[in-house]
């Protein structure tokens, strides 16, 4: 349990989580529908909702904001004390035990859960957690990251992109495409999303985008949600902003048209 918690980013990189959910759901569209349903959002801006969800997942994993659950038919007293102690001491992570008792009568079965670890002391500990404002993250970022943020803001203004602020990021998008790029000043990177387009028949476009981004960043990017370090984006800004991003937006626009046609049909 604690090995997974301490190495969550390593065990569960966002690309792998997205691939697992897509495979389990039977496709990218079905995975997106699950996320929209989970968040109880409207389906009008599904891409933006999905990207916001995965950004929050990555932020939480990176910050160690986790919930650890010990689930059994019985939680021994010794484990219960450990759970309560850890939950009272850890600010970012919630540790709970869930004992699920089974009651049977005739042909009926009832499962009755009991939750351990939610003490008043633990609640006070969690309330004391404060988040770092995005502006403070930007101010503490390196010069390359800040410069890329300023240039993305200028691009957004010139091209009519929308700009939303996350807890650790700025999210740039455009209707009907949805989220285009996400700038993480604290991590010094700009993230995109291309993997879902394979399911729409745009394998050639995805391969071209990955090859082009690999040349700019000097290494092979992620297959699902590639990113480029701010330093590399700044070094090759004209090629990135006027070349690669133009190709990327064109591919995302085609993907949006295909999704719209499928949903209408």
User: Does position 101 have pLDDT exceeding 90, yes or no?
Assistant: no
**pTM, to two decimals:** 0.56
Q: What is the pLDDT of residue 124?
A: 67
Residues 67, 93: contact at Cβ < 8 Å?
yes
In a 3-state reduction of DSSP, which class is residue 163? strand
Under DSSP, the state recorded for 224 is S
Tokens standing for residue 51:
């990207």
User: Does position 97 have pLDDT exceeding 60, yes or no?
Assistant: yes
User: Does position 149 have pLDDT exceeding 90, yes or no?
Assistant: yes
Q: What is the pLDDT of residue 40?
A: 73
The mean predicted confidence, pLDDT, of the chain is 86
Q: What is the pLDDT of residue 163?
A: 93
Specify the higher pLDDT residue, 233 or 198: 233
DSSP lists the bridge partners of residue 99 as 72, 114
DSSP lists the bridge partners of residue 173 as 162, 179
Question: Angle, to 10 degrees, between the axis of helix 46-63 and the axis of helix 28-39?
Answer: 80
Specify the higher pLDDT residue, 212 or 43: 212
User: Does position 140 have pLDDT exceeding 60, yes or no?
Assistant: yes
Q: What is the pLDDT of residue 238?
A: 95
Tens of pLDDT along 175-184?
Answer: 888 889 999 8
């Amino acid at each position: 349990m604690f090995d997974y918690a301490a190495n969550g980013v390593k065990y569960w990189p966002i690309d792998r989580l997205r691939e697992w959910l897509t495979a389990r759901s039977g496709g990218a569209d079905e995975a997106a529908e699950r996320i929209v349903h989970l968040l109880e959002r409207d389906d009008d801006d599904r891409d933006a909702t999905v990207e916001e969800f995965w950004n929050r997942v990555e932020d939480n994993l990176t910050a160690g904001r986790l919930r650890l659950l010990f689930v059994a038919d019985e939680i021994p007293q010794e484990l219960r004390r450990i759970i309560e102690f850890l939950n009272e001491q850890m600010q970012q992570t919630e540790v709970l035990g869930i004992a699920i008792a089974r009651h049977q009568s005739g042909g009926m079965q009832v499962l009755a859960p009991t939750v351990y670890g939610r003490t008043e002391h633990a609640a006070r500990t969690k309330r004391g957690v404060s988040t770092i404002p995005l502006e403070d993250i930007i101010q503490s970022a390196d010069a390359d990251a800040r410069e890329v943020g300023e240039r993305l803001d200028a691009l957004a203004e010139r091209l009519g992109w929308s700009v939303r602020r996350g807890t650790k990021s700025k999210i740039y998008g455009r209707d009907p495409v949805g989220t285009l790029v996400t700038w993480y000043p604290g991590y010094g990177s700009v993230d995109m999303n291309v993997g879902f387009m394979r399911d729409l028949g745009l394998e050639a476009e995805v391969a071209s985008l990955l090859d082009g981004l690999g040349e700019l960043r000097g290494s092979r990017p992620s297959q699902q949600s590639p990113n480029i370090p701010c330093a590399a984006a700044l070094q090759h800004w004209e090629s990135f902003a006027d070349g690669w991003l133009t190709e990327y937006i064109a591919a995302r626009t085609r993907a949006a048209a295909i999704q719209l046609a499928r949903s209408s049909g």
